[in-house]
Structure 1
Amino acid sequence: MDVRFIDTTILANILDIPFMNQNRGQVIEEFKSLQKDENQVLILPLATIIETGNHIAHISDGNIRREKAKLMSEYLKNTAENNAPWQYYGKELDKEDLIKLSIEFPDMATREVGLGDLSIVRAYEKYKKSVPAIRNIMIWSLDNHLVSYKEEMKLPTRRRNL
């Protein structure tokens, strides 16, 4: 199984959010290809949902804002009902995660990495440790500081009983 955590930069292109959709053609092409691949698992983190919702809420044209909000609402409903091309990963931030974020955030903020991105990285790390049979895992993003999160996992080998 290959796993991709969807970053806000990707969802913004899928939703065609004005001024955040410069790579829409490339993203949509890859998105369609991924949906056809049965080995692909797309994960929609909470931070991506919240950040994308905030970007939609700040669209200056009220008609476009309403249109994109309705589309995002439809995506959320489909996600909750397991009818979306991705899965929601709802095990993201517990007390331990908040403490880790509190330690990392000051240094990361100086590098212009926000809490949303840090929480996506944290979810990526937790998922990687807790879900077996992952062949490849990555954060699917257009942000330079997130594209480096890409790993090929070593699957445990099973010994056959003779």
Structure 2
Amino acid sequence: MNVRFIDTSVMTNLLEVPGKCADAKAVKEQWNKVLQSKDVLILPVATIIETGNHIAHISDGNVRRTIAGKFGEYLRKTAEGEAPWQLYGVELDKEGLLYLANHIEENATYEIGVGDMSIIYAYEQYKEKTPAIGSIMIWSRDTHLQGYREENVSMSTKRRQRKKITGNP
């Protein structure tokens, strides 16, 4: 199983949010390939919130309404299980909040916001909790998120677990 977390930068290109869709053609071409590949697509809650905020700031009211309607349809299909992706990272628990608190200062120096941090956190949690992952990545146009890509994830996770259980180094 190959897994892709969808970042806001991809979603705004798919929706063609003005000022946030310079790569729309390339993203849509890649989108068609991704759909054919049968990768598991994950829509983090942070992507929904950030995308909604970008839509709310579109200056042209008619464009804002049209794109909001399209995004609303994406969300309806997600809720009904009809979208090509699945929702992940619905709640932020104590552990997640501490992760953000412990990393916010360092990430802020690199201009990485809490939304991206929560996508990274969800990526790490999904990787730890989900068996049979071949590869996993954050699909993003942002360079600071493009480095989140790993191959043979479950194999390396099983090795780590076996070392912990048997006590082997």
TM range (shorter): over 0.9
CA distance in 2, matches of 1:51, 1:151: 25
Q: CA deviation at 1:3?
A: 0.3
CA distance in 2, matches of 1:154, 1:79: 26
State the identity as a percent: 53
Q: 1:119 to 1:154 in 2, by over 3 A?
A: closer
Q: CA deviation at 1:92?
A: 5.1
CA distance in 2, matches of 1:78, 1:133: 26
1:60 maps to amino acid: S
Q: CA deviation at 1:37?
A: 1.7
Q: CA deviation at 1:100?
A: 1.2
Q: CA deviation at 1:110?
A: 1.2
Q: 1:134 to 1:48 in 2, by over 3 A?
A: same
Choose between structure 1 and 2: higher helix proportion.
2
1:57 maps to amino acid: A
Q: Does 1:142 align with 2:141?
A: yes
CA distance in 1, matches of 2:61, 2:11: 20
Is the Cα–Cα contact under 8 Å of residues 92 and 122 in structure 1 kept in the other structure? no
**TM-score, normalised with respect to structure 2:** 0.89
Match of 1:85 in 2: 84
Match of 1:29 in 2: 29
Unaligned runs of 5+ in 2: 159-169
1:30 maps to amino acid: Q
Match of 1:128 in 2: 127
Is the Cα–Cα contact under 8 Å of residues 89 and 122 in structure 2 kept in the other structure? no
Q: Could you list the runs of 4 or more consecutive aligned residues of structure 1 that deviate by over 6 angstroms after TM superposition? A: none
Is the Cα–Cα contact under 8 Å of residues 127 and 153 in structure 2 kept in the other structure? no
- Residue range with higher mean Cα deviation, 81-90 or 43-52: 81-90
Provide the secondary structure at the position in 1 that maps to 2:4: strand
CA distance in 1, matches of 2:68, 2:112: 26
1:83 maps to amino acid: E
Unaligned runs of 5+ in 1: 158-162
Match of 2:19 in 1: 19
Is the Cα–Cα contact under 8 Å of residues 57 and 65 in structure 1 kept in the other structure? yes
Q: 1:154 to 1:116 in 2, by over 3 A?
A: closer
Aligned residues: 156
Match of 1:71 in 2: 70
2:144 maps to amino acid: H
Is the Cα–Cα contact under 8 Å of residues 136 and 153 in structure 2 kept in the other structure? no
Deviation readout 1:121-149 (Å, 9 max, x if unpaired):
00000000000000000000011110000
Match of 1:160 in 2: none
CA distance in 1, matches of 2:153, 2:112: 29
Q: CA deviation at 1:154?
A: 4.5
**TM-score, normalised with respect to structure 1:** 0.93
